[in-house]
Amino acid sequence: MEIEAIIDLIETLRGENGCPWDKKQTPQTILAYLLEETYELMDAVESGDPAEVCGELGDVLFHILFLVSLFREKGHFDIKDVVDQNYRKMIHRHPHVFGNDNVNSVDEVRKRWYKIKMEEKNASSEDSILDSIPSSLPALMRAYRISERAARTGFDWEDISGVMEKVEEEWSELKTVFEKQKQSSEDHAQVALEFGDVLFTLVNVARFANIHPEIALRDSTNKFEKRFRYMEKRISKGQKDIRSVSQKEKDILWGQAKDRIG
């Protein structure tokens, strides 16, 4: 089965005798579905099941091709234009592979990539180094990208110990505004801002430790979910509702979940 077969399928779905749902789709609606399918692909990759990954990749590919078809209908571009442009871009951004440039490290490759990317965009000295970071990224991922990009200018801590000290400082400030709120109804927005500062600084800890915060939080959330589901199942087997079980019993079951699941 070739890519063209999926393109023909989409044209049929969008055609005169096609599907009413497919015919009413727009780039904006398809983008929403594409994002959802991308997250499902992430889950599949995390599961480690190749068959599931294959299926989810197909769903992502379908929505990408659907998006291309919508623009082709308007006479803007087709899949060949997309492939050709991306092919040329990748060749241009890898002069150390397809040209005569030499690089000695991954960090050097990253810096060269960004330099070439800015040249492609004809960036001037008045443009911000942060301009190319999408504002629609999830907050944690965007924080990581912004801190990473700012660090390239030399605006950074010398080592991870400096960031850890900053975490302690921000945590202390958060505790202070919490105490003030208890005593004098401190503005809730200020508490939220200080909490955000703690999160942003922790993102920088992750960057120094070569950990992606989005993935780290995803893994921790998944671990919590597995432990909680184990606890729920144990309680339901005893013909009880989790809301009626004492905290002491929950703590015992949580400890068992940690032993079994890790």
List the CATH number of the domain containing 162.
1.10.287.1080
Same domain, yes or no, for 192 and 234? no
Type of residue at 211: I
- Domain range for 225: 215-261
Mean pLDDT of 242-254: 92
Would you say residue 1 has pLDDT above 80?
Answer: no
| The predicted structure's pLDDT at residue 123 | 64
| The predicted structure's pLDDT at residue 185 | 60
- Summarised one tens digit per residue, pLDDT across range 131-174 is 889 998 899 999 999 999 999 889 999 999 999 999 999 999 99
Mean pLDDT of 176-188: 77
At residue 19 the predicted structure's pLDDT band, cuts being 50, 70 and 90, is very high
Q: Is residue 111 part of a domain?
A: no
Mean of pLDDT over the chain? 92
As given in the structure block, the two tokens for residue 94 are 């890898």
Last residue of a domain, one of 170, 193, 211: 211
Q: Is residue 248 part of a domain?
A: yes
Total domains in the chain come to: 3
Same domain, yes or no, for 197 and 143? yes
Same domain, yes or no, for 243 and 191? no
Q: Is residue 231 part of a domain?
A: yes
Q: Is residue 105 part of a domain?
A: no
As given in the structure block, the two tokens for residue 45 are 């990759």
| Residue 34 Cα distances to 2, 72, 99, 107, 205, angstroms | 21, 18, 35, 31, 31
| The predicted structure's pLDDT at residue 117 | 85
- Summarised one tens digit per residue, pLDDT across range 104-128 is 898 889 888 888 888 888 766 678 8
Q: Is residue 102 part of a domain?
A: no
Would you say residue 28 has pLDDT above 90?
Answer: yes
Q: Is residue 247 part of a domain?
A: yes
Same domain, yes or no, for 173 and 219? no
Same domain, yes or no, for 190 and 241? no
Same domain, yes or no, for 146 and 198? yes
| The predicted structure's pLDDT at residue 183 | 64
Same domain, yes or no, for 205 and 236? no
Same domain, yes or no, for 202 and 233? no
Same domain, yes or no, for 35 and 9? yes
Same domain, yes or no, for 57 and 69? yes
